[in-house]
Amino acid sequence: MARELGLGGTERQLAEIALALDRERFEPHVGCFTDGGFRAGELREAGVPILELGVRSLVSRSAVAGARRMGAYLERHGVGLVHAFDVPLDLFAVPVARWYRTPVVLSSMRAHRDLTPGVTRHLLRLTDRIVDGIVVNSRAVARELAEQDGVPTSMVRLAYNGLDTRVFRREGERAALPWGEAAAVIGTVCALRPEKGLRTLMAAFRKVRAAHTGVKLVIVGSGPMLAELEAGGDGDCHFQPAERNVAPWLRAMDIFVLPSLSEALSNSLMEAMGCGCCPVASDTGGNPELVADGETGLLFPVGDAEALAERLVRLLDGPEYRRRLGARAERRIEEHFTREQAARTMGEIYEEFLGR
């Protein structure tokens, strides 16, 4: 269950799991607050039923009506396990499923809880006490739950995000860039928010350009920082609004940068690696679980524009090294982070709890 079924990493992972679960063992249903979003169409085409709860706010009459609707659905279909995938559903679906005595109730933590401070974090700690287990997408998040929120490690299960490698692969369409030919293209795909560390990327790019003329920067995404970033850019920077299909843009990049100040397990980083980009990521959260420094990409200290610029110059000066890292990154995704592997791991988690 998730708040909605549109763009977003959590929505994508929910859909991938529902589509790839073994139908001989599971009959997946998907629930959401609102039905809007293109992933609803993908799920329906695959025969996955969707429950729209019509919840507009957790502190409104719609939440009460949605709880009754969800409870009736659980009873009518004999649902044995409810899995909340994001924070709004952790807060809503977990207590509702418990009230209606669903045999197994799981929550998720797919981002750092520092991003949900105040009363929301306190409420999440309450849900920790009434779930059977919590599914995380990185060891970094698991450590945080244990160290900061006191969650017993016995409750936590790790299921890495998975990628549809039929979509995110080196071969395929490339986006048409506005400059035509470029010496090299550095890029990123993310929401344009402060925690994504885009100021670090812009500062590093200005330093790189001083040594490498003809290098371009592409930022794909939408968000509140767009005006600030555009003001700090120039003709060598291109800002592309958020795209439903980002694979062609990733294939147009030689180097993918994820400069996040905090990160759980980045879908964008996985997608770039799947498309054969050479990844450079900040050394935080789950990034080192994807990028082995010097083997499948490069890491740099969080917020350090000088260090990021040094890594970028190293890759621009060594195109063969850059391509070798990109090939290894692609192979890492194919071997460890496919959606089939993610669905298999999630299925094993479900069977473990259902078997108790």
State what percent of residues in the chain have pLDDT above 70: 100
Integer Rg of the chain from CA: 21
pLDDT category, 36, cuts 50, 70, 90?
low
Judge whether residue 312 has pLDDT over 90.
yes
Judge whether residue 273 has pLDDT over 80.
yes
Question: Across the strands, what pairs with 279?
Answer: 256
Sign, CA torsion 312/314/315/316: positive
Q: Are 255 and 272 in contact (CB under 8 A)?
A: no
Judge whether residue 168 has pLDDT over 90.
yes
pTM of structure: 0.92
What does the alpha-carbon distance between residue 326 and residue 77 come to, in Å, rounded to a whole number?
46
Judge whether residue 218 has pLDDT over 90.
yes
Residue predicted with more confidence, 284 or 181 = 284
pLDDT category, 302, cuts 50, 70, 90?
very high
Domains, in order of start, for the chain: 9-162+338-354 (3.40.50.2000), 184-336 (3.40.50.2000)
Residue predicted with more confidence, 41 or 158 = 158
What does the alpha-carbon distance between residue 62 and residue 170 come to, in Å, rounded to a whole number?
45
Give the chain's count of helices (H) and strands (E): 14, 12
Q: Which residues contact 249 (CB under 8 A, 6 or more apart)?
A: 175, 187, 189, 218, 220, 240, 243
Quick: pLDDT tens for 124-165: 999 999 999 999 999 999 999 999 999 999 999 999 999 999
Residue predicted with more confidence, 6 or 22 = 22
Largest CA distance in the chain: 66
DSSP string, 63-117: HHHHHHHHHHHHHHHT--EEE--SHHHHHHHHHHHHHTT-SEEEEEE-S-GGGS-
| E strands, the chain, in order | 30-32, 50-52, 81-83, 104-109, 133-136, 156-158, 184-189, 215-220, 237-240, 255-258, 278-282, 298-300
Burial, 139: exposed, middle or buried (Cβ in 10 Å; 0-12, 13-18, 19+)? middle
Edge-to-edge strands, sheet with 133-136: 81-83, 104-109, 133-136, 156-158
pLDDT category, 38, cuts 50, 70, 90?
confident
Which of the 8 DSSP states describes residue 151? -
Judge whether residue 210 has pLDDT over 90.
no
* Cα atoms in the 13 Å half-sphere on the side-chain side of 219: 29
Q: Please, what is the Cα angle at 209 between 207 and 215, to 5 degrees?
A: 140
Q: Are 215 and 234 in contact (CB under 8 A)?
A: no
Judge whether residue 211 has pLDDT over 90.
no
pLDDT of the residue at 7: 75
Judge whether residue 315 has pLDDT over 80.
yes
Mean pLDDT across the chain: 95
Residue predicted with more confidence, 41 or 332 = 332
